[in-house]
Amino acid sequence: MAAETAARTGPGAGARIAGAVARQRELSLAGLMVVMAAFVALQAPNFLSASNLTQVTVVASIIAIAAVGQALVILTRNVDLSVESMMGLVAFVVADLLKFHVLPAPAAIAVGVGLGLLLGVTNGFLVAVLRVPSIVATLGTLSIYRGLDFLIAGGKQVTLGDLPAGYTDPARATVLGIPVFVLIAVAIVVFVALVLRQTRAGRRIYAVGSNPEAAAILGIRSGVVVFGVFTACGLLAGVAGVMWGMNYGTINATAATGVTLQVVAAVVVGGVNINGGSGTVIGAGLGALFLGLISNSLILLRLSQFWLQAIYGAVILVAVSLDAFLLRGLRRAALARRAR
Amino acid sequence: MSATGETPKPADAAVVVGETTSVGRSGPFRLRRLASWEALLALVLLGLVGLGAATSPKVFLTPGNFSNLTAAVMEVAIMALPMTLIIIVGDIDLSVESMLGLASAVLGFLWAEGVPLEVGIPVVLLMGAAGGLFNGLLVARGGLPSLVVTLGTLALFRGLALVVLGPRGISKFPEAFTDFGFGTVPGTPIPWPLVVFTVIAVVLGVVLHRTWIGRQVFAAGKNKDAARYSGVRVQRMRIALFVLSGTIAAFAGVILTARFASARADAGQGMTLTVVTIVLLGGVSINGGRGTILGVVLAAFTLAVLGNVLRLANVSAELQSIATGLLLILSVVIPSVARQVSSAIGRARRDRRPPVATAEPGEVQSLI
């Protein structure tokens, strides 16, 4: 379609449209979601019920928080495949601490977040200090962290009844009709977006991702930046893990299995360039909401949940293909401008 | 200042020369490398066999145990062979475990629908090739990173497997077929899948280390642009390797279905980790351009014996998965640390000697 337009009106117009879509990624994604939501709401009116909207947005908030951490890592040309194991391990450890009354709830939550931080530091050490390529390091810790989880859980599970009364309430609580989890996710997204935009540390993340050599010449120590993003990713996975436990109540050693794929999909759909250097965490957050919307639509439209996995895969492939296509459009536009 | 600046140059040049000759016709018989990683692996393997024989002497050295321990890893070992070539060329294929699952699911579905296996197996292999072609086209023609493409197809293929078969399992396969999975070559403890593995390993080993195709694979892995300008059809080669990987993953799915006498959509979940671990443990560089089939074969057996020894010692499956993860990381950390240490030693040695002694007198003096 864009190619046809380009053929008719010269090289500039199609490329300009492509450029506009690429630049307004967040807006295009939001627009797409509104259209999708309208369609689903027409087919299944209970989509708009308060309980359904709460459910969709609460789950999406958890994925969004993990996706913010993953986006930071991907911005520096790395990837963290261990996110799901960090979330699962944190979720189980916190639940286990509460079950055996080792700690009061706030302390257990703090331990969980701290554990996430520690796991992230381990990843950061492997990648930034020992120079293990991130895919190898985090593929390794993906199975190490999950193994630890199984070792601690030993086939047992923590059920809702084992947890202190009221512990899981925040997952259902709302302020002015907005779920608390959504507010937490929005606060984290906005905070990290501001850090990325306004602070020196944030700009360094983009610098390392878009051109490591140039960043090194500017005196940016990429090792420190990479260590930092993996640590942040672990911290946010810890937060997401705690929230996962609150939302589901019943936790065993397989908690959050397969979430890494959703998190990476959210980041890619949200327009973060998989080769690093460009993209926003707002996009990543919207990407998480988009995936949640797809999952919910399948349920409401009574389609088989078996399709979900295939659709997530297709969404990743479409998003990266679209990115590459739009990027080529942008380049062509830039070349055309220079030629004129 | 300028003198110390020049001194590392001869050493760097020597390293580069060493690497280019290693890509060249010396192939797998690069004595220096053979003396390091492959020999180390063989030693570790021998040590593990000794450990197994010492800790459970009645079981470990029996022919039956040999069949068990090799059969248990054959699917991952077979998938590690094309993965070796893909990683040498600088790509990765995370989707193999899902293609294995999809192959198992489709084979089971076709069998349940009354399609004979003589038709079902070729159909499944063709589907594997098609899936690999899909990966390859997106990576080579679409210019997308293989990591993300195959992460996408990892989910896509598994999803399709679930759509085809759902949560049910298909069994009641003919005996001739399941015998291929857990039977052995008559009169020997050699499982049939090991025969398949050996054939593929020999063919790929010869192609990689003894033919122009292999040299092109290494050249493309070292420097894609340089290889392209030297007339290597890099993109076509990458597509071909993904097609090979998809086909062999589907074949591994057939083997797994036969071995378990059951077709399931969730077959092989998590296998990609083991496949990549075997390849990297075998001394293949994750950055491409370096590695041998021999190393990967040794690594596959090392992992098989390690798993067997741990199982016989009643070590839990969880600890085994931790061990696999650690092994993966260590297989990258150890060589890189060794390289840093040896280069640090080399630097210290050079610094002790007067700079004039190491440098070519005429050359360096003219530079100064």
Per-residue pLDDT, A174 = 85
What interface predicted TM-score (ipTM) does this complex get? 0.83
Per-residue pLDDT, A329 = 78
Sequence-distant (6+) residues with CB within 8 A of B135 are B93, B95, B146, B149, B150, B153, B242, B245, B246
Find, in chain A, the residue whose alpha carbon is nearest to that of B279.
A136
What does each C-alpha distance from B186 to A125, B173, B177, B180 come to in angstroms? 51, 21, 15, 11
Question: Dihedral (C-alpha) A329, A330, A335, A338: value to the nearest 10 degrees?
Answer: 140
Q: Do A312 and B159 touch (CB under 8 A)?
A: yes
pLDDT tens digit string along A63-72? 999 999 999 9
- What is the domain-level CATH number for residue A259? 1.10.3470
Q: What percent of chain A has pLDDT over 70?
A: 93
Lowest mean pLDDT among A19-33, A187-201, B249-263, B274-288: A19-33
Q: Do A139 and B328 touch (CB under 8 A)?
A: yes
Higher pLDDT, B149 or B8: B149
Q: Do A324 and B149 touch (CB under 8 A)?
A: no
Q: How far is A207 from chain B (nearest CA, A)?
A: 20
Q: Do B152 and A324 touch (CB under 8 A)?
A: no
Confidence label for B11 from pLDDT (cuts 50, 70 and 90):
very low
State the average pLDDT over residues A160-188: 88
CA distance A314 to A309: 9
Q: Do A268 and B160 touch (CB under 8 A)?
A: no
State the average pLDDT over residues A171-175: 85
Q: Do B159 and A146 touch (CB under 8 A)?
A: no
State the average pLDDT over residues A201-217: 88
Sequence-distant (6+) residues with CB within 8 A of A136 are B276, B280, B286, B328, B329, B332
Find, in chain A, the residue whose alpha carbon is nearest to that of B319.
A147
How many Cβ atoms from other residues are within 10 Å of residue A303's Cβ?
Answer: 12
Cβ pairs A/B, distance under 8 A = 128
Q: Do A324 and B144 touch (CB under 8 A)?
A: yes
Res B94 pLDDT > 80: yes
> Nearest-5° angle of CA B212, CA B297, CA B187?
115
pLDDT tens digit string along B293-330? 999 999 999 999 998 888 888 888 788 888 889 988 98
Q: How far is B357 from chain A (nearest CA, A)?
A: 33
Range of the domain at A224: 2-339
Per-residue pLDDT, A164 = 84
- For chain A, the average pLDDT equals 87
Q: Do A320 and B325 touch (CB under 8 A)?
A: no
Q: Which of A126, A304, A310 sits opposite B329 (nearest CB)?
A: A126
Res B55 pLDDT > 70: yes
Res B18 pLDDT > 50: no
Res B215 pLDDT > 90: yes
What does each C-alpha distance from A331 to A338, B206, B363 come to in angstroms? 11, 43, 46
Confidence label for B98 from pLDDT (cuts 50, 70 and 90):
very high
Contacts of B143 in chain A (CB under 8 A): 324
Q: How far is A166 from chain B (nearest CA, A)?
A: 33
Per-residue pLDDT, A19 = 62
Res A315 pLDDT > 70: yes
Contacts of A304 in chain B (CB under 8 A): 163
Res A23 pLDDT > 50: yes
pLDDT tens digit string along A235-262? 999 999 999 999 988 888 888 888 998 9
pLDDT tens digit string along A261-285? 899 999 998 988 888 888 899 999 9
Per-residue pLDDT, A93 = 94
Confidence label for A316 from pLDDT (cuts 50, 70 and 90):
confident
- Total number of domains constituting chain A: 1
| CA neighbor of B304 nearest in space, from B44, B77, B56 | B77
Q: Do B163 and A307 touch (CB under 8 A)?
A: yes
Q: How far is A150 from chain B (nearest CA, A)?
A: 6
Q: How far is B189 from chain A (nearest CA, A)?
A: 32
How many Cβ atoms from other residues are within 10 Å of residue A21's Cβ?
Answer: 18
State the span(s) of chain B assigned CATH 1.10.3470: 31-315
- For chain B, the average pLDDT equals 84
Q: Do B326 and A320 touch (CB under 8 A)?
A: no
Domain range B31-315, CATH architecture: Orthogonal Bundle (1.10)
Q: How far is B180 from chain A (nearest CA, A)?
A: 31
Per-residue pLDDT, B12 = 38
Q: Do B328 and A140 touch (CB under 8 A)?
A: yes
Per-residue pLDDT, A271 = 86
Sequence-distant (6+) residues with CB within 8 A of A74 are A264, A267, A272, A273, A274, A276, A279
Per-residue pLDDT, A319 = 86
Per-residue pLDDT, B79 = 97
Whole-structure pTM value: 0.84
Phi/psi of residue B187, nearest 5 degrees: 85, -5
Find, in chain B, the residue whose alpha carbon is nearest to that of A318.
B152
